[in-house]
Amino acid sequence: MTTSDMSSKSRKSILFCYAHPDDEIGDVALANRYMREEGAHTTLICTTNGDVGTVDAEHLRGYASISELRLAEFSCATQAAGFDEVVTFGYRDSGMMGSADNENPNCSWQIPLETLTQQVAEVMRRVRPQVVITFNTFGAYGHPDHIKINQATVAAFQQLQAEPEHPQKLYYASGPDRLLRIGIMVMRLRGKDPRKGGRNHDMDYVAAVEATTPVTTKVRVTKYLDPMWKALNCYASQIQIPPAVRRFRRLLGPMVQGTTSLSRVYPEWRPGERIERDIFEGVTF
């Protein structure tokens, strides 16, 4: 084994597995914390081009398609975030369950799971992450592409366990379930159906809460919120930030976004265990 091989093998490495441009935003501060403080190598997988995302006409000026716009925003955001490597699979966005887009043979939902699993496994073998992070089994809010990358990531993770070099820890991104619960209560008080939320009324907030797994890991990322905001600014077509939030972000940001919460699913978290403060805790090199 050469010196460079040994260095690569001992380097901390994190693999983020997501489905659409902007899915990675919640992990930007976390990635920067480990890149800057511990020299970790960060790799981001994005399986689709975001073709079916809802985009107002004003944002499409100068772009031939939604896909072209979304990929341009993604390039801007991932450069601002500073990921060491970005891997795109180029599948078509699947839209939500039951939609016509979901039946398109080129969308990620219709791609054989084994095909997507092998693509993820190939990246895992090459970048050799000790830690892998993806969506939960419900894909956060039930999006088929989110569910599919969860399935492929878990399958690839399990497949590699039989190999000498394999990922050691698997986490699910943990959404703000308390805020969702409050949102559900407010929607019901206003006479709205929380199972038909979102801009297109196709998001089931009740199912999203039911699918959450316990928060097992909390990592302080307060010092690394600026790259996240720079990345957010790239997604003008998808994320509208109220002026008041921008004005007070340096005051409120550390309180609201200063900690990244995750749910460790492998090794399985057991009730009563203390909260982890480091995703590399227990990892061997």
What whole-number distance in Å separates Cα of residue 253 and Cα of residue 245? 9
What whole-number distance in Å separates Cα of residue 280 and Cα of residue 148? 26
Total structural domains within the chain = 2
Domain that holds residue 196: 176-211
> Residue-wise over 207-230: b if at least 16 C-beta within 10 A, else e?
ebbebbbebbbbbebeebbebbbb
Answer yes or no: is 275 within a domain: no
Q: Got the DSSP string for 47-100?
A: EE--TTS---GGGGTT-SSHHHHHHHHHHHHHHHHT-SEEEEEEEBP--STTSS
Q: How confident is the model at residue 179 (pLDDT cuts 50, 70, 90)?
A: low
Q: How confident is the model at residue 25 (pLDDT cuts 50, 70, 90)?
A: very high
> Sign of the CA dihedral 181, 187, 188, 193?
negative
My answer on whether 68 and 205 are in the same domain is: no
**pLDDT tens digits, one per residue of 215-247:** 999 999 999 999 999 999 999 999 887 777 777
My answer on whether 91 and 199 are in the same domain is: no
Q: 268: which 2 tokens?
A: 């399985």
Answer yes or no: is 104 within a domain: yes
My answer on whether 7 and 126 are in the same domain is: yes
The mean pLDDT value for 85-110 works out to: 95
pLDDT tops 80 at residue 7: no
My answer on whether 232 and 262 are in the same domain is: yes
- On whether the pTM is more than 0.85, the answer is yes
Q: How confident is the model at residue 17 (pLDDT cuts 50, 70, 90)?
A: very high
